[in-house]
Chains A and B, each alone.
Chain A
Amino acid sequence: MADLALARPRRRTLRLRSGHVGTTLAALVLAGAVLAGLAAPLLWPLDQSAIALDNIAQPPSLAHPGGTDDLGRDGLHRSLYGLRVSLLVGLVAAVVATVIGGLVGGIAGLLGGWPDRLLMRVVDTISALPHLLLGIFIVAMLRPSLGAVILSIALTHWLSTARIVRSELLSLRTRPFIDAAIAGGASRARILRRHLLPHILPKIALATTLMIPHAVWHETSLSFLGLGLPPHLASLGNMINDGQRSLLTGAWWASIVPGAVIVMVTLAIAALAARWRDRLDPRVRAELNL
């Protein structure tokens, strides 16, 4: 018994430490990416349409740490601007999707009955469609622009938030503490503001955070397929697409550098969101001794 009691805390300490290292690393990567994205226009401005034909397909070097592409443009410099676009699109699209999903799920969960059944069938129907295909259809109907990409992502990513909000509200509505509040004289608005929203807001915020990396990948996919930003503008999807041609000539860096940037940043966001989710779950929190 004594041996067992000694062995368990050691193992737990080790797990906690490794979790902290990962979280710290993810936070540093994300903070670095956000700071670099914010500071780039001030410290390292980019002329999006400039090309340098005397500097074509240069491998990574001190002068160009990310190499240059087949038009002589600096890979790291453009990746930084592409990341700005990806993060902006990911964040705005995730927030817009959350607002749409929150409203639909909120109406369904609060009203119940036929509005709930009707709205959830709409959600089921849209869920049955491949969302990338639906996103391509939406963006194809509009002119390629940042707004079209954001709209396309938001209109295809609100479904999970609607389901989360609706199921949370349906569950909370029947809890005795809501009955106690009604018996105590609380109005509908007060119950929503004081008892329902505070319970679901952390979950909505978490769902939004988890959606950001997904939205970033969606934007990259659309740009890769030529449906995102105009080709001359730096976007990670555009750059990976352009880099495909260079792969055949051995210039691997043209695709790898923007690819590595998106993988690192989206993994960092996903890792931080997963850590946050663990903190919100009391069972996991107890296991990890957070």
Chain B
Amino acid sequence: MSLTATGIRAGYRGHSVLDDVSLSIGAGETVGLRGPSGSGKSTLVRVLALLHTPDAGHVSLDGDRIDGARHRVPADVRTRIAVLFQSPRAAADPRLSLADLIAEPLRALRRPREHVAGRVAELADRAGLTADLLTRRPHAVSDGQLQRACLARSLAHEPRYLLCDEATTMLDASTQALVATVITEQQQRTGMGVLLVSHDPALLARRADRTEDLPTPPASVR
């Protein structure tokens, strides 16, 4: 059981960012990923999250090869992989309250109203979000509070894999600790595999079971 990228070459409009990159995240495992700026860490996360189609190579989810990305992949497959983005501001629809933000993935799959309400309350509680915060919109909360709501949202479907793209970089130490605790609890409870993308060697040494390095692509590829 693993989320695996094999021989990935990917980029944007003919500009390659990744060339022949492979990575595997096992169930219950925490894999660290580090690399210099521009090395394609976020692109690899997008490929693994089935949000970006690679130019070559493929992604396998629990042994099944996945072709295509975004809406070409069925919703029940997409929801097995969750992403926690670096900037909670960019990753949150500014029109939605924090409660709606957390409920959105559940409503997207037409879960019953009572189930959604119960699940939002449970996820918000785990992320340390009070009832007062849940009624606020993103502009009325701090980055840390918003990232906790994004974390709650990413766990809504009990994903098998969580990809954290420098998700705690811009947070204060206490929020970093809370996010890490929630992820660890989820991992222990469900056996979720985690990819931690970070520039921080201390964080990776502390939290990752193993760390992979993404080299700077050669000039010809860049």
Question: Residues of A with Cβ closer than 8 Å to B?
Answer: 175-177, 179-188, 190, 194-195, 198-199
Contacts and interface: CB of A to CB of B under 8 A. Distances in A.
Nearest to A182: B70
A182 B51 contact: yes
B153 A180 contact: yes
A184 B79 contact: yes
Given A185-B79, A187-B75, A175 B157 contact: no
B82 A183 contact: yes
A191 B85 CA distance: 18
Contact of B150 (A175, A180, A190): A180
Nearest to B108: A186
A183 B79 contact: yes
Contact of B46 (A175, A179, A188): A179
Contact of A184 (B50, B70, B108): B108
Interface string B87-118: 10011110100000000110011000000000
A195 B93 contact: yes
A187 B71 contact: yes
A213 to B, nearest CB: 29
Contact of B108 (A176, A179, A185, A199): A185
Given A176-B85, A188-B71, A190-B108, A182 B91 contact: no
A179 B81 CA distance: 12
B78 interface: yes
Nearest to B69: A182
A183 B51 contact: yes
Nearest to A178: B93
Nearest to B138: A177
Given A176-B87, A195-B93, A199-B95, A184 B157 contact: yes
B15 to A, nearest CB: 15
- The list of the 5 closest CB pairs from A to B, nearest first, reads A184-B105, A185-B75, A186-B108, A176-B91, A176-B90
Interface in B39-88: 46, 49-51, 70-71, 75-76, 78-79, 81-83, 85, 87
Contacts of A188: 71
B70 to A, nearest CB: 5
B33 to A, nearest CB: 18
A184 B78 CA distance: 7
Which among A183, A190, A194 has the highest number of chain B CB atoms within 10 Å? A183
Given A186-B104, A186-B108, A187-B108, A180 B78 contact: no
Contacts of A177: 90-93
Contacts of B76: 185
Given A186-B104, A187-B71, 7 more contacts: A180-B83, A183-B49, A184-B82, A184-B105, A185-B157, A186-B75, A186-B108
A243 to B, nearest CB: 50
A177 B75 CA distance: 17
A180 B157 contact: no
A183 B90 contact: no
Contact of A185 (B91, B92, B105): B105
Contacts of B82: 183-184
Given A176-B87, A176-B91, A180-B83, A185 B70 contact: no
Nearest to B75: A185
Contact of A180 (B50, B71, B85, B109): B85
B85 A184 contact: no
B197 to A, nearest CB: 14
A190 B107 CA distance: 10
Nearest to A198: B95
A183 B51 CA distance: 7
Contacts of A183: 49-51, 78-79, 81-83, 154
15 contacts: A180-B83, A180-B150, A180-B154, A181-B104, A183-B79, A183-B82, A185-B75, A185-B78, A185-B79, A185-B109, A186-B105, A187-B75, A187-B108, A190-B108, A198-B95
B169 to A, nearest CB: 14
